[in-house]
Structure 1
Amino acid sequence: MIVSSRKEDHIRLAAEQQKNPAPRAYDDVSFIHHALDGVNRDRVSLDTQVGPLTFNAPFYVNGMTGGTETAMTINRNLAIAAASAGIAMASGSVGIALDYPETAASFTVIRDENPDGIVFANIGAGRSVADAKRAVDLLSADGLQLHVNAVQETIMLEGDRDFSTWLPLIEQIVAGLDVPVIIKEVGGGLSAKTLLALRDVGVQFVDVAGTGGTDFGKIENSRRDGGHDDYSFLHGYGNSAVQCLLDARSAGLIGGEAVDDFAILSSGGVRNPLDVVKSLALGARAVGVAGSFLTVALNEGPEAMTEVLEAWKSRLGEMLALMGVTAPSQMAYTDILIRGESRDFAEDRGIDLACLARRSQERK
């Protein structure tokens, strides 16, 4: 099956990218250390509210794969670990299972191994309300990730390059489903302009999913013949999660009671728990992790994956205590500095960064 072959290519090429990771905007973000601000670790709760759902930690296993035997192994290992550690998890795009039901088991294994946990289905923009409902039903899902991937589709040999229907279909799906619908990029980022357009059609949950993680444009270009049939000039195209979160803040979409009904999640290039904490400080409600977990799930099995998830939870609790906060939402009051390309981006966009460096004082 051609589609299954493409999914196997995605797994192999995504794993290869983890060996030579892209530069990351998270390195542009640093904290001002206040040595006496720490609190008792026992006071820290990692519980995170995302709409009607309560996550046991402010990070989740983001959508990766499905549709092949290799994908089934990955999803089984991730689901077992997510169930054991109490971490929310998203599937890869289930579109292949809707079109080829014989591949469905590589997705339903997630719910089989994690019957009581928070699970999100995933499907691409451009699908109908009926398909969206089928995706949710397939996994008895608690929510739906609806991914937008115009750059990937542009480069993909089999790509659909009519993007004009996406926003109207998103509006229909959000209105037609009775579970949260999270609009998610796949590595190109969601700008403030895009976020405002999504909010205007009723979207309440987004994952900005910026550059720095798995580059699906690069993956699709690797599947081409090379030579003159080359899209390498689009490698890394888009905006980082750091830039997207700064952009969202400048548009009034982060901070304050007025945006309590618009939850911004973040992903893209998250390699360690400190990146999660930085995302929270920038205003993300919760943080998705994919590539950093892929090789463990693929090569080391569910026990190792569980150890990784538990370690991330422990480190996050310790870092929040170190920074003097008792809940992930309070990271929004910590003092941060923005440097490098992220600072250049903010200055070009007219975003005030100085206020981020003195938030703890202003809170007092």
Structure 2
Amino acid sequence: MWDSEDDASAGFEDISFIHNALPELRCDEIDCSCIFMGKKLRAPLMINAITGGHADVTEINRGLARVAAATGIAMAVGSQRAALDDPDVKQTFTVAREENHKGLLLANLNALCTLEEANQAVAMIDADGIQLHLNAGQELVMREGETNFIGIRDNIEHLVRNLPVPVLVKEVGFGLSREVVTALFKAGVRYIDVSGRGGTNFAAIEGRRGGVAGLHLKKWGIPTAISLLETTSTGLPLTVVASGGLRSSLDIALSLAAGAALTAIAGPFLKVLVEKGEDSLINLIKELIAGLEQVMMLTGAANLQALMGKPIILTGYTAEWLQRRGIDINLYACR
């Protein structure tokens, strides 16, 4: 549906459904609604964290919040660090809850934030949960970025134990391995956003902004499809979000079949909003939801639980990666 922002693939071309020519369903039976963090969504889709912290983007976040409310999907705000440091930009974030009173809204801070800061971020937008982002790849190419990543796991465990809302830990475009996912689970994390390679490359963006050159990291990271399969192959009781280079209803459906409970898109949604306006973005999201329902029909899945049980076939680079990592790809085809 959209051109990739770079030439790093998210890996979904290596995953296929088996077409069901006898679905034995009516279109009005297809239900792609879901419950996430206690709130019902029209579809398993979220506008992921992309922007915030500057007065110029207040109207952008207002528009994204309106779109989320109109389509019944979730939304995560960008990093709220700027609002904690400068109250003058707080409105950049509070506008999201003002425009979306009842919807699912996630706060956002770096995983090294303090408990006090995390509570402030949640209270700022009356958030239903908080994203804690892991962004070592981005920080390393920022001119004044963080260079000390010691203690992140312990800090996450402290936040999970003491925050009043669910904690979702996410990467920012480089993916999560099964080892990291297992370590996060041991720290008490139950919500994961793999945010793999294939979407927005923040290292490259920071390099273009005048930071330390980051073009050598253009293809760094774990492709989203692979990161998702590594995560779900652990068998741990996690609620997984797939993000990073999802570009069609088919990518969304494949992510759900591979074990994701929710999918998320950021950059492409922002581009449509800025260039074409709220109505165009609303129409795009409605098209994505309608396309998801069509794929569900063609697999014979009346609901998301049924879709998650449908077999998928893994080929190419993704299959080779998983096999070399000792993950049995045949399990996904024999469900």
Partner of 1:141: 127
Instruction: Tell me which of 209, 227, 241 is aligned to 2:224.
Output: 241
| Distance in 2 (alpha carbons) for counterparts of 1:53 and 1:76 | 21
Distance in 1 (CA, whole Å) between partners of 2:245 and 2:258 is 15
In the TM superposition, what are the counterparts of 1:38-187 in structure 2 within 5 Å? 38-187=24-173
Q: State the match for 1:12 in structure 2.
A: none
Q: For residue 47 of structure 1, what is the amino acid of its counterpart?
A: S
Looking at structure 2, the residues matched to 355 and 142 of structure 1 have their Cα atoms a distance apart, in angstroms, of 35
Q: 2:9 & 2:178 partners in 1: Cα distance?
A: 23
Cα deviation code 1:120-144 (max 9, x no counterpart): 1111111100000000011011110
After TM superposition, give the deviation of residue 38 of structure 1 in Å.
4.9
- Residue type of the partner of 1:248? T
Q: For 1:1-364, list aligned pairs within 5 A.
A: 20=6, 22-224=8-210, 230-253=213-236, 259=237, 262-359=238-335
Q: Deviations over 1:65-115 (max 9, x none)?
A: 012244222211111111111111110111111111111111111111111
> If the length of structure 2 is used for normalisation, what is the TM-score?
0.95
Alpha carbons 2:4, 2:198 under 8 Å: kept: no
AA in 2 matched with 1:125? A
The whole-number CA distance in structure 2 between the counterparts of 1:92 and 1:18 is 21
Answer yes or no: is the 8 Å Cα contact 1:77–1:305 preserved in 2.
no
- The letter for the 2-side match of 1:41 is C
**Any conservation in 1 of the 2:19–2:298 contact (CA below 8 Å)?**
no
Q: Which amino acid aligns with 2:64?
A: L
Q: In structure 1, what residue type is equivalent to 2:227? A: C
SS of structure 1 residue aligned to 2:334: helix
Matched residues in 2 for 1:40 and 1:233: separation? 50
Aligned counterparts of 1:180 and 1:326: Cα–Cα separation in 2? 29
Provide, for residues 273-331 of structure 1, a one-character-per-residue CA deviation record: whole Å limited to 9, x for no partner: 11100100110011011122111111222121211122222221222122111111222
Q: Could you say which residue in structure 2 is the equivalent of 1:11? A: none
Which runs of no fewer than 5 residues in structure 2 stay unpaired?
A: none
> Counterpart of 1:3?
none
Q: Render the CA deviation track for 1:153-193: whole Å, top value 9, x for unaligned.
A: 11111211111121111111111111111001101111111
AA paired with 2:324? D
Q: CA deviation at 1:202?
A: 1.0
Amino acid at match of 1:149: N
C-alpha displacement of 1:212: 0.1
Give the letter aligned to residue 292 of structure 2: L
Question: How far apart in 2 are the matches of 1:19 and 1:179?
Answer: 33
User: Secondary structure of the equivalent of 1:287?
Assistant: strand
1:52: Cα distance to partner?
2.8
Letter in 2 for 1:177: L
Taking only the aligned residue pairs, the percentage that are identical comes to 37
- The one-letter amino acid of 1:153's match is E
Amino acid at match of 2:273: A
- Aligned-partner Cα distance in 2 for 1:127–1:249: 27
Partner Cα separation in structure 2 for residue 230 and residue 305 of structure 1: 33
| Residue type of the alignment partner of 1:264 | V
Could you say what secondary structure the match of 2:78 adopts? coil
- Residue-by-residue CA offset, 1:308-364 (whole Å, 9 max, x unaligned): 1222222212221221111112222212111221111111101111232232xxxxx
CA contact (8 A) 2:176 2:196 kept: yes
When the two chains are superposed, the root-mean-square deviation of aligned CA atoms in Å is 1.6
Question: Kindly tell me: are residues 38 and 106 of structure 1, through their superposed partners in 2, closer, same or farther at Cα, counting changes over 3 Å?
Answer: farther
